Amino acid sequence: MKNFKVGDKCYITENAKVGLGLPDGVEYIIKDILQEDVEFKIVLNANEFGKDWVQFFRAEELISVD
């Protein structure tokens, strides 16, 4: 599994997209990685949804952009 860092671009897995009702083909940017002991540590943003939109994910739900 890739070690993600703030500013990395990524996609989300099909299961995560379907579960949250998000569209295909959106590229996400890692806005923050929480240090707290929580399940969903990675905060993503996507320009398509506006600058204030964020959603929380687990690392295994992300697909890195190479």
Task: Delimit the domains of the chain by residue range.
Answer: 9-64
Q: Is 19 helix (H, G, I), strand (E, B) or coil?
A: helix
In Å, how far are 25, 26, 36, 43, 65 from 39, measured between CA atoms? 25, 23, 9, 12, 23
* Amino acid 3: pLDDT: 87
What's the CATH code, domain 9-64? 2.30.30.40
* Amino acid 23: pLDDT: 96
Which residues in the chain come in under a pLDDT of 50?
none
Prediction pTM value: 0.90
Beta bridge partners of 22: none
